[in-house]
Structure 1
Amino acid sequence: MLHLTEKNFTVETKRGPLPNVVMFYAVWCGKCAMMKPLVEEIEKKYRKKIRFCEVDIDESPLLTADYEADIVPTFVFFQNGQFLGSMQGIIDENVFERRLQKIFRNC
């Protein structure tokens, strides 16, 4: 996953033709540690269709506030730089993939 910060977030979420999934996480978060391997597996399946990124909430508090990522993990979805929606917490792999397919219908 590409690591994003307040400095590169806007440029990277608008860059290229692929939609983006941004995982807001914290290194101290047990739920994030549980979700990260699942997200990395999904990333492998969608490598040419969706780009996966991560934001450390402690490192980027302004982004965390902007996207209301007060519950971690929070997943935020972008296409062509446009915010499409978000989901929070621990999510089953099948549910996560179905939501991705629904949000990014054209992928």
Structure 2
Amino acid sequence: MSAGGNCGACKQPLWPDQVLELTDQSFAAHTGRSDLPVLVDFWASWCGPCKMMAPQFEQAAKDWRGKVRFAKLNTEQAQGPASQFGIRSIPTMILFQNGREVARQSGAMNQAQISQWLQSKGIR
């Protein structure tokens, strides 16, 4: 059993250890229906700073497990949400609460900076 509990229907962990990979099809469902804040990293495979930030983002996801849901969206493969939210530079993180954007940060950050940024947005 995972620390965040399991789904009653499918028995899968509600909060798996890994960062969720979003697609055009899954983006709205995951950012709009979560009771917890959702932090989405908009990135691309060719982006050097994105690659540098990836392990830091994954570590922050482990630190915030059960408090914030961490997800990634590849802007090359899922251009709809990237366009909808006006992503102009990557990496860009957007924090969603109750389906709405509440904060945005562009540029690579390390794990401590991600945590500090979340705390500055009132996430505990």
Runs of 4+ off more than 4 Å:
none
RMSD: 1.3
Report the Cα offset of residue 58 of structure 1.
Answer: 0.5
> Secondary structure at 2:42's aligned position in 1?
strand
Q: Which residue of 1 aligns with 2:67?
A: 49
Unaligned 5+ segments in structure 2 are 1-18
1:84 aligns with 2:94: no
Identity %, equivalent residues: 31
Post-superposition CA distance 1:52-80 (Å, at most 9, x none): 00100011112111222221111011011
Structure-to-structure mapping, 1:1-107, within 5 angstroms: 1-103=19-121, 105-107=122-124
Report the Cα offset of residue 24 of structure 1.
Answer: 0.5
Q: TM-score, normalised by structure 2?
A: 0.79
Report the Cα offset of residue 15 of structure 1.
Answer: 2.2
More off after superposition, 76-85 vs 9-18: 9-18
Greater helix share, 1 or 2?
1
More off after superposition, 18-27 vs 7-16: 7-16
Larger Cα Rg: Structure 1 or Structure 2?
2
Equivalents in 1 of 2:34, 2:108: separation in Å? 29
RCO higher in structure (CA 8 A, sep ≥6): 1
Equivalents in 2 of 1:28, 1:91: separation in Å? 17
Q: TM-score, normalised by structure 1?
A: 0.91
